[in-house]
Amino acid sequence: MTSQTKGTVLITGASSGIGAVYADRFAARGHDLILVARNQDRLNAIADRLTTRHGVKVTTLVADLTARDDLAKVEAVLKTDASITHLVNNAGFGSAAPLAQADVDEMEKMVAINVTAPLRLTYAAVPQFVARKQGTIINIASIVAIGPEVLNGVYGGTKSFVLAFSQSLRKELAGTGVRVQVVLPGATGTEFWDIAGLPASNLPKEWVMSAADLVDAALRGLDRGEFATVPSLADGAEFDAWEAARQTMLPHLSSAAVAERYRA
Ligand SMILES: NC(=O)c1ccc[n+]([C@@H]2O[C@H](COP(=O)([O-])OP(=O)(O)OC[C@H]3O[C@@H](n4cnc5c(N)ncnc54)[C@H](OP(=O)(O)O)[C@@H]3O)[C@@H](O)[C@H]2O)c1
């Protein structure tokens, strides 16, 4: 099978960490790639390596996804390149700073990269995928989507958005041939932690998964048709119980009648 028949995977934040491993793994599966990030040198080095090693076509697209014009360039590619079969919304950054020590402009930038970018790229990709009756969207959330109080609250909020958006997309896209997977990594050994202001070397070793293990587990989840993949959660039944509690509560959340406990 030629690389063309496997389809092209567009990966944001492919210049390092989790995104770079996704690039490697999808190239090894024979997919062509479009790699997006700001650092051209790093993207070029990855593209050269993967082209040589796997013989796939790798295109680099330098874009600051917090800048509207750059984001629009990536949206245009998703709208016009009919070879794209997968979108991996991975680019992002976090913070460990509490509100009193966090810079509000930096927090707004975090919302731009972690929320606005995947939102706009998904809006660009979905109509094309639906028209072609195939396509896969992989959204990289975080375990802080479940526990927003673990790190910086804005970071937790952005990842809760990614989870909620994915849950809604999954329902809306059912029966269209388009798949959605949301991945919730725990602490993963990447530059993320240096940028967040808390280098991973400060964390207990037994908490930190390698990016390679994280992506391999996430792809195993994808291959099994899983919607939400939490690679570090030993007992998957805990996630299922959380989801079941949500589904139990859902039909009871809206009512004309005030709940008994709030009546005068
Ligand atoms: N590491 C963890 O513990 C962990 C846990 C849960 C979730 N996650 C999530 O995993 C994803 C990947 O993070 P990582 O751990 O692999 O960290 P990373 O090594 O720092 O990678 C982040 C990637 O995003 C790109 N990026 C950052 N800002 C960008 C911008 N404005 N425009 C375009 N690209 C930008 C970076 O490339 P350039 O600098 O070249 O632009 C880089 O390729 C993030 O969404 C993160 O929130 C990480």
Per-residue pLDDT, 199 = 87
140, 183 Cβ separation under 8 angstroms: yes
Taking alpha carbons only, the member of 102, 203, 91, 109 closest to residue 152 is 102
Phi, then psi, of 181 in degrees rounded to 5: -125, 135
- The answer to whether residues 90 and 188 touch, using CB atoms and an 8 Å cutoff, is no
Residue 3 lies in a domain: no
Q: Is the pLDDT of residue 78 over 70?
A: yes
Q: Per-residue pLDDT averaged across 45-59, rounded?
A: 98
- Average pLDDT in the 156-174 region? 98
Report the pLDDT value the prediction gives residue 114, as an integer from 0 to 100.
Answer: 98
| 95 Cβ inside 6 Å of ligand 1 | no
Let me know if residue 48 belongs to a domain: yes
In this predicted structure, what is the pLDDT of residue 4? 56
Expressed in angstroms and rounded, the spacing between residue 168 Cα and the centre of ligand 1 is: 24
H or E segment to which residue 11 belongs: strand 8-12
| 184 torsion bin: left (phi>0), alpha (psi -120 to 50), beta (else) | beta
Q: Which residue has the tokens 């388009």?
A: 178
Amino acid at 196: A
In this model, does residue 2 exceed pLDDT 50?
no
Q: With respect to residue 16, please indicate whether it lies within any of the assigned structural domains.
A: yes
Whether the CB of 190 sits within 6 Å of ligand 1: yes
Binding site membership of 139 for ligand 1 (Cβ less than 6 Å): no
| pLDDT at residue number 201 | 87
Q: Catalytic amino acids?
A: 155
- Choose one of 192, 201, 229, 232 to mutate for the ligand 1 pocket test, by most ligand atoms within 8 angstroms of C-beta: 192
Q: Is residue 145 part of a domain?
A: yes
Cβ atoms within 10 Å of 36's Cβ, excluding its own: 29
Nearest-atom number in ligand 1 for the CA of 67 is: 31
Q: Strands of 228-229's sheet, edge to edge?
A: 58-62, 32-37, 8-12, 84-89, 135-140, 178-183, 228-229
Query: Percent of the chain, pLDDT > 70?
Result: 98
38 lines ligand 1 (CB under 6 A): yes
- Cα 57 to ligand 1 centroid, rounded to whole Å: 23
Structural domain containing residue 167: 8-262
Which is the closest atom of ligand 1 to the Cα of 65? 32
Contact in structure between 102 and 59 (CB atoms under 8 Å): no
Using CA of residue 68, residue 191, residue 88, residue 95, what is the dihedral sign?
negative
pLDDT given for residue 3 in this prediction:
52
Q: What is the mean pLDDT of residues 25-32?
A: 98
Contact 15, 35 (CB under 8 A): yes
Residue 26 DSSP label: H
Specify the pLDDT at position 1.
42
Give the angle subtended at the CA of 114 by the CAs of 100 and 241, to the nearest 5°: 90
Residue 107 included in any domain? yes
> Using a 6 Å cutoff on CB, does residue 92 contact ligand 1?
yes
Residue 131 backbone zone (phi > 0: left; psi -120 to 50: alpha; other: beta): alpha
Domains of the chain: total: 1
Whether 2 is covered by a domain: the verdict is no
Question: 1 lies in a domain?
Answer: no
Question: For residue 214, is pLDDT > 70?
Answer: yes
What average pLDDT score do residues 209-233 get? 98
Q: Percent helix, strand and coil across the chain, each rounded to 5?
A: 55, 15, 30
Does residue 172 sit within a domain? Answer: yes
Give the residue from 30, 32, 34 showing the smallest Cα distance to 1.
30
Does the structure show a pLDDT above 80 at 189? yes
Q: How far is the CA of 238 from the centre of ligand 1 (A)?
A: 27
Strand partners of residue 184: none
The answer to whether residue 119 scores a pLDDT higher than 80 is: yes
Type and span of the H or E element at 72? helix 68-80
Position 242 confidence tier, pLDDT thresholds 50, 70, 90:
very high
Residue 203 is part of a domain; what is its CATH number? 3.40.50.720
